[in-house]
Structures are given as structure tokens and as C-alpha cells.
Structure 1
């Protein structure tokens, strides 16, 4: 069965039992609809910092982009761990909305009936529809509308975070939509002019929004076959790199500013295991690794190797992992992170798996609207159309060369062949470098980790392939 929650480790179904409250006295939906089917959605509400939200109000709205208003709703309340469960009619299009105080967010129910809802402070949204002179804009799952003025401009004062479907309505008919995911950005999103030239889809004239990264504070989602702007600039001539590169899979004698080769079996003197509160872990789980023993971190644990800064220039980070997928308690899992405290801005870089998009993403400065602070690398989970197998040993390698990232899984480049532009966040001093988690408990990587390398050099594709073949089983 295709479900995020089947990967939950030791989580009882009772955790998802949230009290169901109805919008009407006689049934579980508003408007007197009684036949809502027998499907059950199970999910969790978290903040943008990946912390669970206790007692959040969760609403399932029956709505879709081709409608002009919400048809119905089901309301529940999350428990003290942010977990909720609700019944819904799977034959109808459903949007999940959650709120807690002033924070709110939108999401969708996955095919398996699971939902991850991220809440945050609402953003002001400003844009315009090219050549439009009337009508209004709506957000699927919300009742608010924004009037389209004679110059095509419109604005929402308080747009929720998360998965947004922005719809242009004219003459009481839904014309087209723009689907996007919000990134962690400022208080206002300003999206360039929207073109209504693809049947049913709005597009942005700036090609940067379709570069596979979060640009301008959003990550745009368009289906295959939809025409989007392309970068037509003539690329600068590429000067061949004649520097000899090491392509062996063994340690070299070259002198690097950073060169860590960690076996993750308790023998690495520089690697310490901590709990998310900063205390030294007194119980560490070492398991069978890809070579000898590896480490299986408990929720809230991470490995720290000191204040090093591989992001100062080119780098290669690699790790073998036997990944177990979604654990049921957050929207991110971190493999590498140069950070001390995300909430206070002490974060320079992290490589994470995002369950909202089922993708590997490198994050530098989430407030950098240029797109260089948030680099989408590749779809992750094989069972969701990605590239990372579950429950078997795989090698993940991230290379930064000249400000572009190259991401490999099992010796194969899975990110853009031209490299993904990326810039780490500027910080005043080096931060702790962490493996497998952070100060946030839910960030812990869900799977065994072994044979980690962190080097201040950009390794070649041949080197990556040789690394994989040396230990592949």
C-alpha cells in the first residue's frame, strides 16, 4: 500500500485517533451531506521549523480549482502531538487546512490517505493577470477572494503557507490556476505577471521560477506538457578544467582544509552523539553497517563533528544509509547540516529530505528569494517515483563545485546535469556540523548511517562511481 504512515517505526494507530467534531449536528460534514464515504486521512500538523503543533484545528474542505467556492467541510482537532485523523469522501477533491492561533497552512491528502500540514505566519501575496481587466482570484480551500483590478493586479493580505492553488475566475467560471509551494520567506510574496495562455494553467514569464528550485519565495508545480519559459541566454563558453582529479576510491595524501572519514561505529574521535537538547547521548544504537558497524540514531539524536565549514568553498559530502522512509512525525529529515539553531538564524547549510514534495533539497538561506538559497535536487523515495531505495544500503553524495550542486545516488547523478546553483547562508563564524539530525527532534534521519566522508574538494563523477562500487552489495 502506498502510504507514508506504513513507514512509521513503532507508532500505534491510536496516536492518530483525534476527536472528530462535525460542522453540523447530524453528520460529519457541513451542509447536511451524510454520505461521505469510508476513507480515513491520517496526518500531522507541524510548524515551518518542523515542530508538532498541539491541538491545531484541522479542516478538510471539499474544493477544487474548477469550482468557484468551497462545497463542504469536515473539522477535527489534532492531539497533543499534532496528530489528527478524519473521515472523508475519497471520490471528491479534498484540501486540508490547519490553523493554530495566527498561523495557518494548506496541504493535500496523499494517495494513501496521509497528510502533512505545515503552518506558518500568513504572507501577503501580490501579482497580476496579464490582459485581465475583471474577475477575481481565489485560493482553493479558502473563502477569501481578491478582486482583479482593471490593470490585472490583485492582492491577498493573508495567504496561508504550504500547497497553494491560486485560481483566476472570470464571468463566474474558473479559467486557470497556478499551483505552488511556499518557501520559508518574508512577509510578502510578489509574483510577476501571470500569463493565461495554457489551457487551465497560469504561468509566469520569468524562467527562473521553473529552474527546479524555490525562486521568489515559491516552488512552482506544473504538469508535463505545459509550455513554460526557458532560459534563452547564450551560455558563457566553458573552459575545460585540465586539473588532474583523483578518481580512486581510497584515501589520498592530498592536503585538504577538511578531510573527515567517519566509520560511524563509535571509533571516530571527532564524532560525538548528542541529544537535541545539547546533552551527550548516553545510549547509542550501533547496528550492522555497509562495512562493519553503522549508527541508527534515535529520534532527537544527531552526530556532531565540531565547528567546521565545508561550505567555504568546493566540497564533497557522502554517506551510506539504509533509509526507512517516513517516521510519522515531521516534514523534514536531515542528513547533513551546518547549523546551531534554525529559529535564531544560526544555520548555514543543510541537506534534507522533504516529505511535502518527496524530494531531496539543499537549503542555505531560506529568506534568499533569488533561488540560490534553496536548491531542489531530486525526487527521493523510489516508491514515490524517486531515486532512493528503502531498507537497503545506498550511497548518497553531494558535490559542490564552483557554486553548483551535483547530487548522486548509488554512483548515478540524479540532479540536473548542468548543476544546481546554490549559495550557503552567510554567517559570522563556523557553526557545528551535524550528521543525521539537529536541535529539532523530528529532524532525525530515519535509517542507519555508515561510512561518512566530508571533504573540502569537489570530487569527480568517476570518484563517486568508484566509491559506490567499492562497497556496493
Structure 2
């Protein structure tokens, strides 16, 4: 059973607005990196400066749907407060850190998070119209039974992000997400909580001791994104483009630095702006999802106002193997750029390159292992010249590490590395200056295949980019030969140092197409 949307909005706003400003006080900001199955970070004491030496760090496999902790792994910090946990299963999504009387509980393990410890607090509350059962805190052994009036109490709960679960007859009936603050008060009182007859959790708004709860309508807006096709596999670190238009009050949410994006469970999500134009009530945000479970048909997100401005932290992370992500909204370096380069793209702005121009990615090299290259393209067709999509080369004759391009002599899309040339069989891409297409090339286990609009259009062919002992520029849409510029427009460039699955590319295409500029 999941927390209903109305309950979550009210509860999260009350707790964040009164007790918490998690994103503003930086109690869990900057540093942990989830690299594959490893977590590494730094722990400091409550002063935010002193390293927490020999602090206990435990990752737990637990959730509100579980009866309790299923498994755990543990380590300790070194003399600088640093720690590493290796081989962490993805189901371990709760992290507990403690040093003497100070501690921190993180409800969801995230990228880029250091831990600043705090002090435990007492917690009291009640479940309306319930006289039996218990409540427990996910990621701990703490539980408290309800009395005859539905009241419960904890003498001490961890500092940090808490998930409180109401359990009756062995079943988890509701969960409530909130966070503790670093206020001087050692006591917390939750407003009365209730479970409706249909099983959805709801909040009975009541007086909160430390202030008046803000009106949820003034500080938080819920956005639902329908997926045209549910993923067939769970995708981790998927970045979802969300188009707003009239979905929100742009006067209220006029500055992306003034709000945060929250998951359905209340976790703050990384996001970045493609474009945001309050005067026209238009905008697109790219939101990173920690995970997108298989079978998901709808993603529920919330925008919540911050107490203090904080610039968006970015959605495309190095920890997710993303080497480059360009929205062509001023974030790209274009060789010999002019004002006429800017054009409308598939989402927001794109770029139309002229002869001799290209997008520079410096000396980036994704070709040392598996990789995925993607770009949205408008194509005006064959102009008698080769046309570059991506090239890692300094010159055609003797220093081409890798090139993906339209080969004019044969009229095919191909890959090339001086010693080896291969067409990509089965690719039939018609020139169309009005229809954007998402082009992707996936290299996996020394073979490559091409995708168009999220569908594989060529069988994998053996191709291993050769290694050259020299630094070579990496370019998009052109190279050192002036007339080999892409004949059309480009947008949404991605370079990833891993082979994306066919399911990832399908959903990437469908969600980006849904956020496009032009209507069907």
C-alpha cells in the first residue's frame, strides 16, 4: 500500500516547512558516489568540520513494505572520516551512520552526499481511529506499540530522513516520510496520522508545536508524468524530461533555484533546466530518477519551494557513466560560432551548423570500452560530402581513432578508423528536414549497432576502435574537413561510457519525444 498523493503532499509540507530544511542546512550535501555497487563518502561531527573518526557506517536492506531489516553490510570511517562500502546490493537503500551519541539515518542512498551527524530526538504521535498495532522506523530496530488511544512514543530516533511505518496484524498498512532538523528542541510531535478504509494513508492536519503548517497549495505542486510504454526492466539513474506548460503556477515557481523536485517518497531528486520561461508559462526540466522500476506506467513528482535559493545540481552524473550531455541551449562549444547557429531543437534550442563548424568535446575519449553515442538530428540529406555525427580524429589520413558518419561515396551510414571501414547494414534513414530523429550508436563487446528513434536498425557488426598514442579531439557534427559538416540541425547530444540497453534507448526516445517543442 502506498501513501496517497494527498497525504504525502500535506505531510511533507508540514514537516519540511516546520521542522526541516534538509536541502538548506546541508546536513546531507556533497560527496558520496555510487559507482556501480560501491558507496564512498565522508562523515563529520555535528559541527560540520571535525571528521568523525571510527564512525560506524551500515547499509541496510529495508523498506516500508518489509517486516524489518533483511540484510546489512558494515564498515567504519578512517582517520579523515572517510568510508567505502563495496559490493552493495541495490536493495540496500538505507544508510545509518553513528559516532557515540551523534548519528544520521539516510532513507535513500544517493550520489554526491556527505554526512554531517546530529543528535537523536524523542518522537511522539498517534494513528487516528486505531487502537492496536505498532509503528517502526525503517532501517532501525526501533518500534513502538500503540496504546488504547492510538498514541505512540519513541525515546530517541535518529537524526536525518525517517520513514515511519504503521504495522497491524503483521501487515504494513501505511508509511509516512519526514525528516528531523538541527533545531535546539529535543522533542518532536507528529500531527495525527490516519489510515482510510480503502487503505490509502491520509493526514489529519493538526496543530504543530513549533509553528503553523503552511498551506500545501502555497508551497508544493504535484506533477504526474505518464509513460507511453512501461519499461520492461528496472532502469537506474534514468533522466526524465518533464514538460510543464500549464501544469504549474509559473509565477510561484518562477526561479528553478527557489524550488526542489521530490520523488513520490519525498526524496530530493537531482534536476537541471533545459529552458524555463515563466512569462510564457513554458519550461522543461531534466529530472534524474534513482530508479525507474520495471512496469512503471506513471511517475509522480512534486515541486516544493525552498526556504533559501540553491542552484540545480545537475541530472546527468559521471557516476551514471555520463561523459557529456548537451542541450544546445548555450551549453555547447561550437567552433567558429555565429548568432545564426542557434535554432529550435527537438526540446528547446538546437544548433544548425554551417560548413567548417562542429561541436567540440575537447579530448574526451569514450572509445576505450563500451559506449553509447546519441543525438537528435534533422537531416537535409545527401549533399555529395561525407557528413559527421561523431568523430575522434585529428586528420582523415593518419589519426582517426573512431568516426560515425554518413559515407557519401556509398550512400550509407558507417563507422571508420582508417584501418577498418564498415557500413551499418539495414540503416535506411530518409532525408527529412521537418522530422527530428534520435540517432544512437551502441558499442558493446567490440561490436556496434545503430538505433533510430529507440529501435535497432542494424545488426551488430564487429568493430573495435584502434588505440592511438596521441591526444585527439572529439567532435560532433563536423571535423577538420570543412565540407564534412552535418547537413541539418542537431540537439540533445549524449556521450555515455557504457552500452545502453535497447529498453533504455526506447524509453529515452519516447520520453524525450513527449517533451518536444512542436505538437503532433
Fold agreement, TM-score > 0.5: no
TM-score for the superposition, normalised by structure 2: 0.38
TM-score for the superposition, normalised by structure 1: 0.41
Q: Which has the larger radius of gyration?
A: 2
Choose between structure 1 and 2 for higher RCO, CA contacts under 8 A separated by at least 6 residues.
1
